[in-house]
Amino acid sequence: MKINLKKNKGITLIALVITIIVLLILAGVSIAMLTGQNGILTQASNAKEENSRAQIYEALKLTEQNYQIDIATSASTDDIVTYLQNKGIIDSNLIINVSKLLGYSSETGNGSGTSDVYKLEEITAIGKVASMHAVRVASTSVYGKKYEVVYYDKNGKRIVLGTISDAPKQIEVIEPENINDWTYTIDEENNTATLTSYKGKDTTVVFPNYINGIPVKRIHTSISGIYRSIWDDTLLDYIDSSSYTYPQTTITKVVISEGIEEIDSCTFYDSQALEEIELPNTLKYIGDKAFNRCKALQNVTIPESVIEIGNYGFCSCTSLTNITIPESVKNMGIYVFDGDTIEINVPFKEGEEPVGWADRWSKNYSGDITVNYNK
């Protein structure tokens, strides 16, 4: 009997090829299961990273609780950022030092810039009214800053882990003694008020932070005309629109109540008798020409909450001889101190102005400006 060896060999070879193909397919499936986007190794790596992020956020929340206790027991009066900076947990850019926070190194948070870093990013000022009565100093209000805890992964993806906040602080709610001294507008959508003019007779003017129970956030003149201030026409010595001259010479002091965030353009323009201004720790914006021609103004403390000072903001303040700009100011307009003989203390080294500072921020057509740079 003859055996067809050729045929058997052919069948064996085909079976071998099929077996190899099946094995390759299985190997591919196995590799995909291990290393693909949803693979076992990838999921294990993601789980490890998620666990690391959770540990870091929990440690930061525990530190926040300790901060709240220190505030409540008067062991600290700092805001949350200063508290964390004093402990070395965050730097001046609000980037978290993970090893300092945890006490040991971590799988994540070892990068720089926006790659593999944890940092705090401010959301907004937060507020809540405790109680309200229709009197000048009515009550107290709770406010503070709130920050997102953010992780930027190795690809720069932004991941929000949660939030931390300043401890609540108490401020007086200031309602006007005579509401008829003020004009104002109400933003019904946001439930906030804007002061638009003052026509009272006080020489010291306190700008209220509440109008009829509604929080004031902004001062913005509604008086028509170029470079018009917050002062009503009845308070001006005279009006010369051709030379943009509107002198006010009776008001010597202004107090801006806590909670107000914006002083708009030309608010105190040509307030020639204004010697003293108290700015709140909630102030964020000082508009163009806000204090232009305040010739008697002698001392101004810029709060560390301010992030922007507009063009010609303190132009022709000829009695202002020294001012310190805090690190919080990220945007600075042109010719801010034109016409002043003044020393300006800034928080950066020469040639390292923040990106948002105009090239001509310290230039002047007249006056004598000296900039004291950080060493």
Query: What is the rounded average pLDDT of the residues 193-198?
Result: 96
Average pLDDT, the chain: 86
- Cβ pair 182, 207 in contact under 8 A: no
* pLDDT digit string, tens, across residues 332-356: 999 999 999 999 999 999 989 899 9
Structure-model confidence comparison of residues 25 and 161, the more confident one: 161
18-33 burial, b at 16+ Cβ within 10 Å, e below that, comes to: eeeeeeeeeeeeeeee
Q: Which pLDDT belongs to residue 30?
A: 65
Query: What is the rounded average pLDDT of the residues 185-201?
Result: 94
Q: Which pLDDT belongs to residue 25?
A: 77
Query: What is the rounded average pLDDT of the residues 100-111?
Result: 89
Q: Which pLDDT belongs to residue 178?
A: 93
* pLDDT digit string, tens, across residues 182-191: 999 999 998 9
Residue 373 CA to its chain's centroid (Å): 23
Q: Which pLDDT belongs to residue 74?
A: 78
Indicate if the pLDDT at residue 202 is higher than 80. yes
Q: Which pLDDT belongs to residue 185?
A: 96
> What is d(CA 304, CA 224) in angstroms, rounded to the nearest whole number?
32
Per-position DSSP letters for 231-297, written without gaps between them: B-GGGSS--BTTTTB--B-S--EEEEPTT--EE-TTTTTTBTT--EEE--TT--EE-TTTTTT-TT-
Q: Which pLDDT belongs to residue 127?
A: 40
> What is d(CA 217, CA 262) in angstroms, rounded to the nearest whole number?
7
Q: Which pLDDT belongs to residue 136?
A: 45
Entry field: residues in the chain: 375
Question: 290: pLDDT confidence band, cut at 50, 70 and 90?
Answer: very high
- CB neighbours of residue 167 within 10 Å: 19
Query: φ, ψ for residue 213 (rounded to 5)?
Result: 85, 0
Indicate if the pLDDT at residue 70 is higher than 80. yes
User: In percent, how much of the chain has pLDDT > 90?
Assistant: 59
Instruction: For residue 1, give every residue at least 6 positions away whose Cβ sits within 8 Å of its Cβ, in sequence order, or none.
Output: none
Indicate if the pLDDT at residue 313 is higher than 50. yes
* Torsion angle defined by CA atoms of residues 263, 269, 272 and 278, in that order, rounded to the nearest 10 degrees: 0
Instruction: Give the H/E segment covering residue 342.
Output: strand 341-345
- CB neighbours of residue 90 within 10 Å: 24
Tokens of 96: 């978290």
Question: 128: pLDDT confidence band, cut at 50, 70 and 90?
Answer: very low
Question: 19: pLDDT confidence band, cut at 50, 70 and 90?
Answer: confident
E-state strands within 59-157: 117-129, 137-152
Q: Which pLDDT belongs to residue 72?
A: 80
Q: Which pLDDT belongs to residue 39?
A: 60
Strands 331-332 and 356-357, sheet pairing? parallel
Question: 135: pLDDT confidence band, cut at 50, 70 and 90?
Answer: very low
* pLDDT digit string, tens, across residues 358-374: 999 999 888 899 999 98
Query: φ, ψ for residue 374 (rounded to 5)?
Result: -70, 140
User: In percent, how much of the chain has pLDDT > 70?
Assistant: 86
Indicate the SS3 state at residue 36.
coil
Structure-model confidence comparison of residues 244 and 3, the more confident one: 244
| pTM over cut 0.85 | no
Specify which of 6-15, 106-115, 242-251 reaches the highest per-range mean pLDDT.
Answer: 242-251
Strands 214-219 and 192-198, sheet pairing? parallel
- Cβ pair 290, 268 in contact under 8 A: yes
Q: Is 327 left (phi over 0), alpha (psi -120 to 50) or beta?
A: alpha
CA dist 271 to 106, 248, 340, Å?
57, 5, 16
Question: 226: pLDDT confidence band, cut at 50, 70 and 90?
Answer: confident
- CB neighbours of residue 337 within 10 Å: 25
Indicate if the pLDDT at residue 102 is higher than 60. yes
Indicate if the pLDDT at residue 279 is higher than 70. yes
Q: Which domains does the chain have, with CATH numbers?
A: 46-169 (no CATH), 175-375 (3.80.10.10)
> Cα dihedral sign for 50, 52, 53, 54?
positive
